[in-house]
Structure 1
Amino acid sequence: MTFVAGSKMDFLSPRYHKQSLVQTLCRFGLFVICMGMVLTMSMYPMLRFLGGKLHSSFTGSYLPGHHSVLLVNCPNEQTAKDIGRAIMERRMAACINILPRTSTMYYWKGEIQDATEILMLVKTRTSKTQRLIDYVKSVHPYETPEVLSFPVEDGSLPYLKWVDEAVPDD
């Protein structure tokens, strides 16, 4: 048996179609654009943060939302002091105000409850709020502690700078 070029055995050898240079460049360009978009989207939070810092430092203005105030209710003053001191020792807040006795009414298990509580105001960087919330939930005696976070829209720049110095950025 002799094999002749173009015989039935050609199907065993792979055939490669040459792509044109234009098709190759288009595919490569599309790949570069897609990778650029993925990188930009994944780096957006960091780029936004750095842009805000640069804008703030050049203009001397405040970047809204960079700081937050958390409200935390506690059953008594000692609990508030213990939680507050632990937060301060962990450098998660610059300042905590413990406000005296507040009257509280709330729904709990289908009934209106009437209680006396101590309110804490926790001042910190917004980047620390989730860690603070998780920590308070882990040490608080309530089954469902009240922990609410509010972004600071504006304020005294020297005070807000002091908050930044007091609470290290991870």
Structure 2
Amino acid sequence: MKLIAPKRMELFLQRCHREGILNSAFRSVLLITSLFLVLAVSMYPGLKSLAVHLHAVLTGSYTPGHHSVLLVNSPNEQAAKDISRAVMERHLAASVNIFSKTSTLYYWKGEIQDATETLILVRTKTSRIQHVIDFVRSIHPYSNPEILSFSVEGGSLAYMKWMDEAVPND
């Protein structure tokens, strides 16, 4: 299929207009089609979520990547509890685990550091990851906290359904 150059397209439309081919019915169809496309693109996240739910209901299966797990480090157990509670109160996650006193080795300013931190495991919908990251960064005591996300590729269907119920859509 050969693409029509913009100038040729403009000449074609001018000719159609002169000959009355572009009548009001055609313009109406063009306008409705354009509005439909704009509406479909703007509603894509919600439509995608609905499609995932319908797929799960109709097939009894799980769509990989619909849920994610985030790892978040914190300096101590109290900070981890504060972050976790704030995430849960905002319904950004279905559940959170706190692993106290994990040993951490990392590079900082060219030196290997050895520290004790508390690790938070956050389970949420993949569509909510950026909301979780932005919120955690806004309240975290570290200037550059570790926040890593991993897509869930499978698991208990009943648990995944519970997660869908626990975390509202965007």
| TM-score band, normalised by shorter chain | 0.7 to 0.9
Structure 2 residue aligned with 1:106: 106
Partner of 2:58: 58
Q: How far apart, CA to CA, are the structure 2 residues paired with 1:165 and 1:30?
A: 40
Q: 2:104 touches 2:116 (CA, 8 Å); kept in 1?
A: yes
Residue 73 (structure 1) shift: 0.7
Q: CA deviation at 1:40?
A: 4.2
Over the aligned positions, Cα root-mean-square deviation in angstroms equals 2.6
Partner of 1:169: 169
Q: Considering only CA atoms, is the larger Rg found in Structure 1 or Structure 2? A: 1
Partners in 1 of 2:45 and 2:84 — Cα distance? 30
Aligned-residue offset at 1:58: 0.6
- C-alpha separation between the residues in 1 aligned to 2:132 and 2:88? 11
Aligned length: 153
Q: CA deviation at 1:91?
A: 2.1
* Aligned-partner Cα distance in 2 for 1:104–1:60: 41
Alignment gaps of 5+ in structure 2: 1-16
Describe the SS at the equivalent of 1:21.
coil
C-alpha displacement of 1:70: 0.7
The answer (yes or no) to whether the contact 2:94–2:167 under 8 Å persists in 1 is yes
Following superposition, the deviation at residue 32 of structure 1 comes to 5.0
> 5+ residue gaps in structure 1?
1-17
| Superimposed CA distance per residue, residues 64-115 of structure 1 (whole angstroms, 9 cap, x where no aligned partner) | 2221111001111111112112222222222111113222111222322221
SS of structure 1 residue aligned to 2:61: coil
Separation in 1, partners of 2:168, 2:52 = 18
TM-score w.r.t. length of structure 1: 0.75
